[in-house]
Amino acid sequence: MEDLRELYQQLILDHSQNPKNFHEMEHPTHTAEGDNPLCGDEVTVYLKVEDDVIKDVSFVGSGCAISKASSSIMTETLKGKTIEEAHTIFDLFHRMITTGETDSAQEEKMAVLAGVHKFPSRVKCAMLAWHSAIGAIDKKEETVSTE
Amino acid sequence: MESRYDVRSSKTTIGDIMNTFNIDNIRQDFPALNQLNRNRPLVYLDNAATTQKPNQVIDVISTFYRTSNANVHRGIYEISERATEAFESARQKAADFIHAEDSSSIIFTRGTTEAINLVAYAWGLHNLSPGDEILVTEMEHHSNIIPWQLIARKTGSILRYIPINEDGTLNLENSDIFFTSKTKIVAVIHQSNVLGTINPVKEIIQQAKQVGAISLVDGAQSTPHFKVDVQEIGCDFFAFSGHKMVGPTGVGVLYGKRELLESMEPFQGGGEMIKSVTFEESTWNDVPWKFEAGTPNIAQAIGLGAAIDYLNDIGIDQIHTYEQELTEYALDILEKIPGIQIYGQAPNRGAVISFNVDGVHPHDMVQFLDQDGIAVRGGHHCAQPIMKKFNVSATTRASFYLYNTRDEIDHLVESINKTASFLRR
């Protein structure tokens, strides 16, 4: 029970109850939808990328506290980062969620979700928005590279 | 515990439970109930998903493998005869349990899903034409939607849905618009696995008959909980699963009217389902074996027979009465939880309750209940059309069976309240 209460600490609940950047975006350069068919969670992520820099990120959707908090934290973390930095941060986040390992180089905001690794069934909830964001970026890059 | 089950006479005896409903004795029959979940006594409330198994069923399966394991319908040797006899006697038990005309109308399948697929492919594929209509309801489990979507795509037929009302009952007013000369099959869920609603299948099937349509009833959630009489219902097909009624996984039943089964093409080809085979062509075995290609699920079918014995010894009517009381009690105290929304308020309902509590996502709810030892389901319950209808992405679902108690429901309510106040802080 202690682990679970730790996971659902106040910061997580604040993010889930009042998520940051929780709105649609006009004229995004990248969007992606993600869903977790197991629990019915849905998220749409919007990004505005200019000169390889993520100028703006937002999301809409419905989901559990973990997925909503993680989406909110994702938008705060990725805003202002370069595409390359976003990939590095994604890898760090993924490692933290699956193993609990944190890195001194990583953003502090992300660390509140480190406890997720103790609950394997919730890894997908925490990763949903992150996978969607990185998927949106990669898809666009792919398209660009084939032109 | 030593089994008193004899594979040949196949009659399970249950200690002290004869005609009385003794919950303590019943719980002792189910070893899996007596364990910890996250260091708390397990409260198992996910019975609509699958049920726990009593020693009487576990022992019969184990005894079969220890003493009578052989392939069926082939060997001339003694243990093969014994296996065949036990397997076929399980078929008779299944027939008697749902009051089928005789055991030849009982096909063993992998479960309800495979039974419905069997009808979709072996009947639907050959009997549906472009423009024909398949009629289901908005309340169906995915297993009674997807097979028909696949068949509709292949045959050019059209899938239509009887709508549901706010209270979780079927909207059968003006149902004439759904039952037309184009309707060829009506496939309906007997009891909803989300809303608990028990549907008036007899009336629906009468309407189907009036337009000349055949009918299928998905009995996965009804057969374990109350008396089913397929002849009284009047359906052409009826499907149910063993594992939802204290039996093993991997076995279910398709009941079918004999003349229909005889007119149908086989579902799968292989051994067991043929009379003779040449390089050019084959002739089919009699029903029901025509639909049981390959070595069947012998031990599982025999286990299902033992499950039926178990339920019969307690009494399906007694089980139903007990569950009805339990459900009423649960609804009464759940309704008092602040901010709770219960989906499905049908007057005629079974032991399944789906709900949400304001400000708490089901996934979070289930995680916290789990920490208190409580096993419930959170999600769309393989019924996304219902979720859409009620405008939610998921619900939490508690479902009861004969071994659940009021104490467990009290514990559930206490844990929901605790979780809601923690997450809404």
Q: Which tokens go with B385? A: 């059309």
Pick B361's closest partner by Cβ from A4, A65, A119: A65
In the Cβ-directed half-sphere of B238, how many Cα atoms lie within 13 Å?
29
B102-154 tens-digit pLDDT: 999 999 999 999 999 999 999 999 999 999 999 999 999 999 999 999 999 99
Task: Tell me how many residue pairs between chain A and chain B have CB atoms under 8 A apart.
Answer: 53
Report in angstroms the alpha-carbon separations of B13 from A18, B310, B407: 59, 8, 28
Q: Which tokens go with B352? A: 């399944």
In the Cβ-directed half-sphere of B345, how many Cα atoms lie within 13 Å?
9
B47-70 tens-digit pLDDT: 999 999 999 999 999 999 999 999
What is the three-state SS of chain A?
CHHHHHHCCHHHHHHHHCCCCECCCCCCCEEEEEEECCCCEEEEEEEEEECCEEEEEEEEEECCHHHHHHHHHHHHHHCCCEHHHHHHHHHHHHHHHHHCCCCCCCCHHHHHHHHHHHCHHHHHHHHHHHHHHHHHHHHHHHHHHHC
- Using the predicted structure, report yes or no on whether residue B77 has a pLDDT greater than 50: yes
Q: Which chain B residues are closer than 8 Å to A67 by Cβ?
A: 363
User: What integer is the mean pLDDT of B290-317?
Assistant: 97
User: What integer is the mean pLDDT of B255-274?
Assistant: 93
ipTM, 2 dp: 0.85
Per the CB < 8 Å rule, is B364 touching A66? yes
Sketch the domain layout of chain B as residue ranges: 78-311, 316-423
- Using the predicted structure, report yes or no on whether residue B2 has a pLDDT greater than 50: no
- Judged by a CB distance cut-off of 8 A, whether residue A60 touches chain B is no
- Using the predicted structure, report yes or no on whether residue B391 has a pLDDT greater than 90: no
Looking at per-residue pLDDT, the higher value among A86 and B424 belongs to A86
Per the CB < 8 Å rule, is A64 touching B363? yes
- Could you give the residue numbers annotated as active site of B? 382
pTM of the predicted model, to two decimals? 0.90
Q: Distance between CA atoms of B267 and B123, rounded to whole angstroms?
A: 9
Pick A13's closest partner by Cβ from B379, B393, B425: B425
Residues of A numbered 103-142 whose beta carbons fall under 8 angstroms of chain B's beta carbons: which are they?
A: 119, 121-122, 125
Percent of chain B past pLDDT 90, that is, above it, reads 85
Q: How far is A41 from chain B (nearest CA, A)?
A: 7
Q: Which chain B residues are closer than 8 Å to A4 by Cβ?
A: 367-368, 371
Please name each of the domains of chain A with its CATH number: 2-142 (3.90.1010.10)
- Using the predicted structure, report yes or no on whether residue B6 has a pLDDT greater than 70: no
pLDDT value at position B20?
Answer: 66
Q: Which tokens go with B372? A: 């208190």
Residue spans of alpha helices (H) in B315-375 = 316-334, 362-371
- With tokens 């939607």, the residue in question is B145
Q: Distance between CA atoms of B50 and B29, rounded to whole angstroms?
A: 17
B174-226 tens-digit pLDDT: 999 999 999 999 999 999 999 999 999 999 999 999 999 999 999 999 999 99
Average model confidence (pLDDT) across chain B: 93
- With tokens 């169906």, the residue in question is B140
3-state secondary structure of B107: strand
- Judged by a CB distance cut-off of 8 A, whether residue A11 touches chain B is no
Per the CB < 8 Å rule, is A13 touching B378? no
pLDDT value at position A140?
Answer: 57
Q: Which chain B residues are closer than 8 Å to A17 by Cβ?
A: 359
Q: β-strand B352-357 against B340-343: which pairing, if any?
A: antiparallel
pLDDT tens-place values along chain A, 147 residues long: 678 888 899 889 999 999 999 999 999 999 999 988 776 788 999 999 999 999 999 999 989 999 999 999 999 999 999 999 999 999 999 999 999 988 776 677 899 999 999 999 899 999 999 999 999 998 854 443 333
What would be the CATH architecture of the domain defined by B78-311? Answer: 3-Layer(aba) Sandwich (3.40)
pLDDT value at position A143?
Answer: 40
3-state secondary structure of B46: strand
Class of domain B316-423: alpha beta
Per the CB < 8 Å rule, is B393 touching A8? no
pLDDT value at position B412?
Answer: 98
Q: What is the DSSP letter of B164?
A: B
Single out the residue of B99, B126, B91, B106 nearest to residue B214, CA to CA: B126
- Using the predicted structure, report yes or no on whether residue B15 has a pLDDT greater than 50: no
Q: Which chain A residues are closer than 8 Å to B359 by Cβ?
A: 17
Percent of chain B past pLDDT 70, that is, above it, reads 95
User: What integer is the mean pLDDT of B379-383?
Assistant: 86
Q: Which tokens go with B260? A: 């229909």
Per the CB < 8 Å rule, is A8 touching B394? no
Q: What is the DSSP letter of B351?
A: S
Dihedrals phi, psi of A65, to nearest 5 degrees: -60, -40
Dihedrals phi, psi of B203, to nearest 5 degrees: -65, -40
Peptide bond into B200 cis (omega under 30): no
Q: Point out which residues pair with A82 in neighbouring strands.
A: A53
